Amino acid sequence: MIERSEAALFERIEAFYDAVPRDRAQVESFGPLTLFVADPEGLPLYARPALHAFGAPTVDDIRTVRERQRELDVPEAFEWVQESTPSLGAMIEAEGLTILHAPLMVLEPARLRAFAPSVSTPVRLLDPDRETFAEDLSSFRAIAQVSFAASGMAVGLSGPAERDEVRAPALDVEVTGERVRAKQAAYALAGEGPDGALAGGAFQRAGDVVEIVGVATLPSARRGGLGAAVTAALAREALVSGAALVILSAGSDDVARVYARLGFRRVGTACIAAPVDADVPG
């Protein structure tokens, strides 16, 4: 049974998840499901339960949305909060999709203030008015691509060379820059010197709620505290810029324990589903 205070929290989180993609996506309604479709230059999006929908999604609703996703040639991806839509997981699995159950966490600001990073490596928030913004944005995305291809926390061989190999020009620099100026988003990189950036992360905002996303460290630089330092810097920036609620989803229980040291506590489970042969974010 969800208590009243928890129900209010989940309502805020659901409203955020419904609002945050709308400024950069085509929105299609399928009864109790909403499909967000990114423009060709944007990152792939997903379907999720419609806000204040009458009734829970059915298997037929899921199949209809998947047909539309295939028609649009976009990922057959679904996201939801387990506590808000508890019946969806079993139907998704029955349809042959695989689900990542990610700890959903909320920041306790007082605990963040007491956190001291274990590394001295500087964390830099990206400035859209700096000449290197486009290059920095490309670095952030290349780090995420290399890191998520080798999910988990284990130290690996992939490092700066692999980052540079997959680096591609950012096509949405102007739009992203405007979102940063408007405090709708922020990006951070950690690492300087000859190897360049080794870790990165971002946040996205809707109203007074901020979600930290895309925190990633090159496998060769893992276990050094860089991801925690990036997350702490983004959380502090969110609070300074007026966020009343800061959330994130951890890729695993091990990652959640790292975030817990920064002041995040688990409140639920964020679910991310995709076909078995597709990549599910880690």
R_g over Cα of the chain: 18
- CATH architecture of residue range(s) 109-268: 3-Layer(aba) Sandwich (3.40)
Long-range contacts, 252-258 (Cβ 8 Å, 24+): 252/102, 252/103, 252/152, 252/153, 252/282, 253/103, 254/152, 254/153, 255/103, 255/153, 256/103, 256/105, 258/153, 258/227, 258/228
Give domain limits for the chain. 4-95, 109-268
Residue 2 has pLDDT above 70, yes or no: no
The pTM for the full model equals 0.93
pLDDT value of position 256:
97
pLDDT value of position 3:
57
Rounded to whole angstroms, the Cα distance separating 250 from 115 reads 18
Residue 111 has pLDDT above 90, yes or no: yes
Residue 282 has pLDDT above 50, yes or no: no
pLDDT value of position 1:
45
pLDDT value of position 280:
47
CB atoms within 10 A of CB 83: 18
pLDDT one-digit tens code per residue, 35-84: 999 987 677 899 999 998 888 899 999 999 999 999 999 999 999 999 99
pLDDT value of position 6:
86
pLDDT one-digit tens code per residue, 94-104: 999 999 999 99
pLDDT value of position 281:
44
Average pLDDT value over all residues in the chain: 92
